[in-house]
Amino acid sequence: MTEKQKTFAFVVYPGLTALDLVGPLQVLSGLAEADPAFRVVVVGETLDPIDTDSPLRIAPSHTFDAVPDPYAILVPGGAALTLQALANRTLIGYLARAAESAELVTSVCTGSLLLGEAGLLNGREATTHWMFRDLLRAFGATPVAKRWVEDGPVITAAGVSAGIDLALHLVERLAGAETARAVQFGIEYDPQPPLGPLDWANAPHEAMAPLREHILRDGLAGHPELVAKLLART
C-alpha cells in the first residue's frame, strides 16, 4: 500500500452471513482495481479461518491490530452468532476505535446492531434486516425501512443482498457514476429475481416469528444484560 491509499476494512467474526460480506467486498474490490487510490482488506481478530453461516470457511487478510485506522469500515451481519458477537469486546472495541478516524462507517444486515453496540448509531437513522429492524431502537437509533440509510458518515444497509446496492452507491459517491457503471458491468449486476421483487405487503412476519424468537434466544443466551437492552423497547 502507499501512504495515500484509502483502506476499506471489511470486519469479520465467526458465524457471519457470507453474502453480507462478499457482495460489497466484490464491488469494492472492483473499485480498488479501477482506482489505486483505494485498497480493500478483510480484518479479523486473527488470521485463522473462521466459520460463516454457510459451509464456507473464510480467512482474513489482516488482523485488527494491523489496520488500526482504516478510511472506511464495513460490518457484515448474520443471525444468532451476530447477536452473540454483541458481547465480543475485542470486536466491539475494534469497531469503536476504527470508527474514530474512519470517514465512512458502514454495515450490512444485522451488522448495524454491532455498530450500535459500539456506540455509533446514537441519535442516527439506520436500517438492518427487516426481521430485526425494531432492535435498532435499543442503541438510540431510529429504524428506517430503506435499502440503505445514509446519516452523515454512517451508512447502514438492509438485509444480506442489500450490501451489493450499498457498495455500488459507495463507488458512485467515491469515484463517480462512470466507475460505478463499469463495476456494475463487471459483476453483471442486472438482477432478475425469478419470482420478481419482494412483495412487502405480504412479508411473512408471522411465518418468520418463530425463527426470529429462536435466533434471539440462541444469540442472547447467557447475556441477560443484552436481553434487557435489546428487548426492553420492542
Which positions touch a second copy (CB under 8 A)? 10, 17-19, 21-23, 25-26, 29, 40-42, 49, 53-59, 61, 109, 129-130, 147, 158-162, 164-165, 168-169, 172, 177, 180-182, 184-195, 197-198, 200, 203-204, 207-208
Range 170-179, long-range pairs (CB < 8 A, 24+ positions): 170/24, 170/27, 170/28, 170/31, 170/72, 170/104, 170/106, 171/27, 171/28, 171/30, 171/31, 174/31, 174/38, 175/31, 175/34, 175/35, 175/38, 179/31, 179/34, 179/35
**DSSP secondary structure string for all residues of 161-228:** THHHHHHHHHHHHHH-HHHHHHHHHHTT-----TT-S--GGG--HHHHHHHHHHHHHHHHTT-HHHHH
Whose Cβ is closer to a second copy: residue 198's or residue 228's?
Answer: 198
We find the least distance from the C-beta atom of residue 123 to a second copy, in angstroms, to be 25
| Cβ-based nearer residue to a second copy, 31 or 230 | 31
Q: How far is the CB of 129 from a second copy (least distance, A)?
A: 6
The residue type at 204 = P
Q: Of 124 and 129, which CB lies nearer to a second copy in the complex structure?
A: 129
- Of 16, 95, 109, 230, the active-site residue reads 109
Q: Give the span between the Cα atoms of 157 and 130, in whole angstroms.
A: 10
40 φψ region: left (φ > 0), alpha (ψ -120 to 50), beta (else): beta
For residue 176, the minimal CB distance to a second copy (Å) is 11
51 vs 229, beta carbon nearer a second copy: 51
Report in angstroms how near the CB of residue 148 gets to a second copy at its nearest.
Answer: 8
CB of 42 to a second copy, least distance (A): 5
C-beta closer to a second copy: residue 125 or 172:
172
Burial of 36 (0-12, 13-18, 19+ CB in 10 A): exposed
Q: Tell me whether residue 109 is one of the annotated catalytic residues.
A: yes
Catalytic annotation, residues:
109
